[in-house]
A and B are shown apart, each in its own frame.
Chain A
Amino acid sequence: MDTLRELSVDQKVGLLFVALFGVLTVATLAVAVIVGRSTENDASGVRRGRLLRDLRALWLGSTVFWLAWVSGPVGATLAFGFFSFFALREFITLAHTRRGDHRSLLLAFFVVLPLQYVIAGGRYFDLFTVFIPVYVFLAVPVISALAGDPERFLERNAKIQWGIMVCVYGLSHAPALLLLEFRDFEGRGAFLLFFLVMVTVVAQIAQETASRWLRRRPVARLIDRSFSFRAWAVGVGSAALLGALLFWITPFKPWQAVAMAAIAGAAGTLGEFVMKALKKDAGVRYWGNAASVTGAVGLLDRVAPLCFAAPVFFHSVRWYFQV
């Protein structure tokens, strides 16, 4: 631990990324060995396909995350801005908007989204937290009403608001963490973001694995066949454990790190659960369903837990530490 503490900030984060890519390499090799050995049948083929898809997404996500870190706060803010854009594009594609929503959508994509990230980049955190829930909340329905189409007005606006809330507001809290300034912890926001991303990802993976092993009765069968409270608890517990292991990179004391990790993990997995309900409502299994209208890449599937975990985590950190 002492040698770890003596390293510079950049060296520490670099070390973390080396560890991350190391774990990924080992996992990929392990999968390659298992896949090489498994016999050809339908069930294992499906499982293998899912495993490979998940692994590829993890590699891609880690690489993009690493690139975002390498390019510094500005680069990371820009990168997450693009994530937001693509996620919102997917969300809006499947939300059936009407002609009258055109201007509101333009507002969402080309005004609200860039502004939110500019506000984050400028560290105006007081405005940052209220800009979308307060001001945009009023602006979007006003623009919609001016278009003069009363048909399903509430539903259409709710969808746009939700899309903005999840894809822009939620996700923009990830780069905001990078920019948060702690006393005696300057320039180390990257650790917090790394902490948050790792904890939510691990919670997600642990929950999914646990639900496959435990085979509990699902809580809400029609929404998610695998979600059970016990599997969810395993996910949150794994997140907390990882939080304890990673406490030395954060400004937290060990028990604070555990609590923060548990909060982030819980928010992320529950967010994913909500997203599942939303997808069922839209009639797709993955946002990136090739058979659906969009044929999109499914970015929203990947970032959904983060969209929900980031604001909760950000607010708990700010509130507790008074920064």
Chain B
Amino acid sequence: MSRADLMGLLLAFIARLITGAQGHWKGCPPAAEQRIYFANHQSHLDWVLIWAALPRELRAVTRPIAARDYWTATPFKEWLTTEVFHAVYVSRQRTEDQDPLEPLVEALRNGDSLVIFPEGTRSGKGEPAAFKSGLYHLAEQFPGVRLVPAWIDNVQRVMPKGEVVPVPILCTVTFGVPLQLAPGEDKREFLARARDAVLAVRPHVN
């Protein structure tokens, strides 16, 4: 077992110790097929939570998106994102000649699964912001990839903005019914539908 594998196990253990990181597969079972998981984004921990909630076999083939400038800034960050999480790097600066989705398309061509947060940035509380169009373009180019909505609950209480130490509070990741791009579906319609699908798996507070 390599150091990266050990680090992965350690991080998953910590995530479970602090948050429980329970995956509730309401709409579909976990399966070794190519998927794009898309979820609400409230905290820096979101990715780790989804990742820890996945069965161990799926973690290696499910990749996050990481901002290249930030996550390659130090050797440790680069090691963490490359070796442990197998992140797909994207650059935040737009250049004229490059499609920002290119690295994601590349990863999907490889047969990997992705986790994306279509809001683009962390939303404050409650309702997620409107989805960016990346999800639509990926769905258009890869009709065979299953789009799985997920709702991450409670994580904003674990580590609110500006805090660095997480408080142990139980969180859940609920996976919903997979979505498909209908033939000829309008971009805005599809994105609204995707956002509704994410909201639909939000557990009811009783």
Contacts and interface: CB of A to CB of B under 8 A. Distances in A.
B203 A293 contact: yes
A89 B160 contact: no
Contact of A291 (B157, B170, B206): B206
B168 A296 contact: no
A93 to B, nearest CB: 4
Nearest to B205: A293
Interface string A86-121: 001110110001010010011001100000000000
Nearest to B153: A293
Given A102-B160, A102-B163, A106-B165, A294 B170 contact: yes
B191 to A, nearest CB: 27
Contact of A295 (B22, B167, B204): B22
Nearest to A113: B168
A92 B172 contact: no
Which of A89, A97, A284 has the most chain B CB within a 10 Å cutoff? Answer: A89
Contact of B20 (A105, A110, A294): A294
A85 interface: yes
B206 A93 contact: no
A283 interface: yes
B124 to A, nearest CB: 11
Interface residues of B, number: 18
Interface string B1-40: 0000000000000000000101010000000000000000
A260 to B, nearest CB: 34
A285 to B, nearest CB: 9
B159 to A, nearest CB: 8
B175 to A, nearest CB: 13
A71 interface: no
A89 B153 CA distance: 15
A109 B168 contact: yes
Nearest to B168: A89
B169 A93 contact: yes
B166 to A, nearest CB: 9
Interface class of chain B by DSSP: loop
Contacts of A97: 157
B167 A292 contact: no
A294 B172 contact: yes
B167 A293 contact: no
A110 B170 CA distance: 16
B203 A291 contact: yes
B154 interface: yes
Interface in B155-206: 157, 160, 163, 165, 167-170, 172, 203-206
B172 A295 contact: yes
Contacts of B20: 89, 294-296
Given A293-B153, A293-B154, A89 B169 contact: yes
B169 to A, nearest CB: 5
Contact of A109 (B22, B154, B160, B167): B167
Residue in B22, B168, B206 whose Cβ sees the most chain A Cβ within 10 Å: B168
Given A85-B168, A295-B172, 17 more contacts: A89-B169, A92-B167, A93-B169, A102-B160, A102-B167, A105-B167, A106-B167, A110-B165, A291-B203, A291-B206, A292-B206, A293-B153, A293-B172, A294-B20, A294-B172, A295-B22, A295-B24
7 smallest CB-CB distances across A and B, nearest first, come from A294-B170, A93-B170, A105-B167, A89-B168, A99-B160, A283-B206, A93-B169
9 contacts: A85-B168, A90-B170, A93-B154, A102-B167, A110-B165, A291-B203, A293-B172, A293-B203, A294-B154
Interface of B: 20, 22, 24, 153-154, 157, 160, 163, 165, 167-170, 172, 203-206
